[in-house]
Structure 1
Amino acid sequence: MPEITYDQLKPYQKISDAHRFVGPSSDWTQEVLEYYLHGEQIKGIKLPWPRMDKRFRLREHEISVLAGPSGAGKSLACSQFMLNAMEQGYPCLSVSLEMTVKSQLARAWRQRSLAAEPGLDEGLDFASWAEGKLWFYNQQGSVTFNTLMAVLRYTTETYGVKFVVVDSLMTVGDIPSDAWEQQKRFVCALANIARDLGIHIMLVCHTRKTQDASQPLSRHDVSGSSDITNRVDNVLILQRTFANDMMKPDAKLNIVKCRHFDQGEESIPLWLDMASLNYYSEGDTPRVIGNETTVSKAKGAKIPTVGEISIVKSKPKPATGGYRVEVNGSAGGGLNAVASG
């Protein structure tokens, strides 16, 4: 397992490495002309639900908030976002201070394979597919603001990371939950580093408790400073419906703010496939990520595949030349980066 030392992180702990330039408006004339002559292609990471492909994307240089009550499935949805980003060619970094790497990977294996209990073939196939695409910051509990910024710079430069999930705001240890000004500065810093590094950051936040859990939440229900949702580019709210009818959705993903998409604000009804832990939308079927032709004919159906690669590191067996799988999911006390690839 590659370990990041403090000496390695030190050069990345500057608040900003980007130079700011001031130029005349004529410097951007060509870009604006091309925009009006040819339009702007929709770019960015597609959501796991095809109905939004032409209406909303998670774009580079931007930051999104995914908020919702406890138990809504925010971390589960983030795992889906990462798997879909990987499929589209965006290397991902998970900074989850609330779950071990082992737990995150166990869920990802299920989500990608559609198997309720993935076996050796599914695990090896995932490891092979995820090589060079998926990275983890292996620490539980909390992380300081400066360390998080350094890790983002380090992994972007070293591993080419393009999509980052930070789960969650409350685990940034030196920013109290009632310190509005510090939260504002933190989110502004995240937005700046996303812009400077050309990455997309998804920040997971909680919502305030309400008397009626069935009432739709808005961006104003996100816990913490109002500047959190003011500063970010997109705000997505995931909320359970508590419906006891299989025909009705289990949850809704409400895109309540999208700065750069005129038709992006949308409410997406979602159903949860308990076997594979995938949210899917009406008219869609859970499928094996990375295999466009394979869909789940029965929820949780196993799809046998074979692959040979390690999750953390590969060690050839002397007799066979094969590989063994090592998963490090322990709570890290230091600065450790666990890599898939």
Structure 2
Amino acid sequence: MQFLTDDIDFAAYERETDARANVKPASVWMDELIFKLQNPDQTKKVRLPWEQARDAFAFRPGEVTLWAGQNGHGKTQIVSQVVLSLMGQEEKVVVGSFEMKPGTTLAMMCRMYAGTNPFSPEYQGEQGVQILTDLYKEFGEWTDNRLWVYDRQGTVSANQVLGMARYCAKELGVTHIVIDSLMKCVMGEDDYNGQKAFVDELTALARDNMVHVHLIHHLRKPSKETDIPDKHDTKGSGAITDLVDNLMLVWRNKGKEDDVKAKGRASTKKDEHDAAILCRKQRNGEDEPTIRLWFDRDSKQFKGDPNDPLMFFRNWPHRETGY
């Protein structure tokens, strides 16, 4: 993997070049439309990693997906697993995480990739440490030319993020850009015009560079943490959900957690799913699936079924196990 620092001059990419270059006759797109019409199965589809949603949702070039959830509901963790899956589908990804240190982000991905808990007793001896070291080195080599991390924390200006994103699309050939989170790019939760302008710029950037942007965002605090969210619960401007192409709400089943803690094996909720992704918008797709997920504590992976094997991300569809 590679790190992007502010030593790179992103200023040249903060504003698009002459708009005249983007004005083209409609006939330019006819060959592409005819090819898709004649070859419907040859257009690559980039999927979610969970089997039950693979035919219901796709990440298309030129789109923006908003991932929204309450604090502590696992939206960054789920997006990290999606990033690993994207790399397994031969996509190139840059992650700009302004709420988390790069080392913390990568430690989470390494754990998912290794499929085990590095802090368990079996890995504390010399042999265990060597096994993990080899796995982490393997992960690092696999991510080369697949994963970049923007080495920047705290608040960053919208123009800096846009410049970084354009640089990655134009110079590195990145196909997916993860921004965590919207509130770190626009100062003030009540700056609705700033939020709208930034998301509008992201949609234009995605479209003009044919990349997919993943924007992580927060939901308003509900009256009860067990409440299932809807699209109107996103913080800030209502225009955000109007502008993006796809909306994914991440929900953690706190009701199950509380019941299991209180009742243990006697809990009537112990077989319920641990989390869910609620697709509440897919502009260019026919479905809006709900994806139920079960959490594996050792690997930190989310599974589509409690009996599913862990995902082996190097291969698609992540079924060929390497563990």
TM-score (norm 1): 0.80
Contact map agreement 2:11 2:160 (CA 8 A) in 1: no
Aligned to 1:252: 276
Does structure 2 conserve the Cα–Cα contact (< 8 Å) formed by 1:42 and 1:54?
A: no
**Aligned with residue 160 of structure 2, among 132, 141, 147:** 147
Partner of 1:225: 237
Q: Per residue, is there more helix in 1 or in 2? A: 2
* Equivalent residue number for residue 122 of structure 2: none
Q: Which moved more, 1:107-116 or 1:38-47?
A: 38-47
Q: Please tell me whether the aligned partners of residues 4 and 151 of structure 2 are also in contact (alpha carbons under 8 angstroms).
A: no
Q: Which residue of 1 aligns with 2:311?
A: 287
Q: Any residues of structure 2 matched to 1:1-341 within 5 Å, and which?
A: 4=5, 8-15=9-16, 19-21=21-23, 23=25, 39=40, 43-117=44-118, 119-172=132-185, 174-242=186-254, 243=256, 244=260, 245-263=269-287, 265-282=288-305, 284-291=308-315, 292=318, 294-295=320-321, 303=323
In 2, Cα distance between equivalents of 1:41 and 1:180: 41
1:327 maps to what in 2? none
2 CA distance for matches of 1:29 and 1:121?
Answer: 49
Seen in structure 2, the aligned counterparts of structure 1 residues 45 and 36 have a Cα distance that, compared at 3 Å, is closer
Q: How many Å separate the matches in 1 of 2:75 and 2:163?
A: 25
CA contact (8 A) 2:92 2:173 kept: yes
Distance 1:134 1:2, change over 3 A: closer
Q: Residue 183 of structure 1: CA displacement?
A: 0.8
5+ residue gaps, structure 2: 119-130, 261-268
User: Is this contact kept in 1: 2:63–2:245, CA < 8 A?
Assistant: yes
TM-score, reference length from structure 2: 0.84
Q: CA RMSD in A?
A: 2.3
Q: Measure, in 1, the Cα distance between the counterparts of 2:113 and 2:8.
A: 36
- In structure 2, the residue corresponding to 1:217 is in which secondary structure? coil
User: How far apart, in 2, do the equivalents of 1:46 and 1:104 lie?
Assistant: 22
1:10 Cα offset (Å): 2.5
Q: What is the CA deviation profile of residues 301-331 of structure 1, one whole-angstrom value per residue up to 9, with x for unaligned ones?
A: xx4xxxxxxxxxxxxxxxxxxxxxxxxxxxx
Contact 1:13 1:149 in 2 (8 A): yes
Post-superposition Cα deviations, 1:63-117, rounded to whole Å, max 9, x if no partner, equal 0000010001011011111100001111111100011111111111110110210
- How far the C-alpha of 1:214 sits from its partner, in A, is 2.1
> What's 1:318 paired with?
none
CA distance in structure 2 between the aligned counterparts of 1:39 and 1:277, rounded to whole angstroms: 36
- In structure 1, how many angstroms separate the alpha carbons of the residues matched to 2:174 and 2:158? 19
**Any unmatched runs of 5+ in structure 1?**
297-302, 304-341
Alpha carbons 1:238, 1:253 under 8 Å: kept: yes
What percentage of aligned pairs have identical amino acids?
Answer: 29
Cα distance 1:180–1:41, how it changes in 2: closer, same or farther (>3 A)? farther
8 Å contact 2:4–2:148 — kept in the other structure? no
Equivalences, count: 294
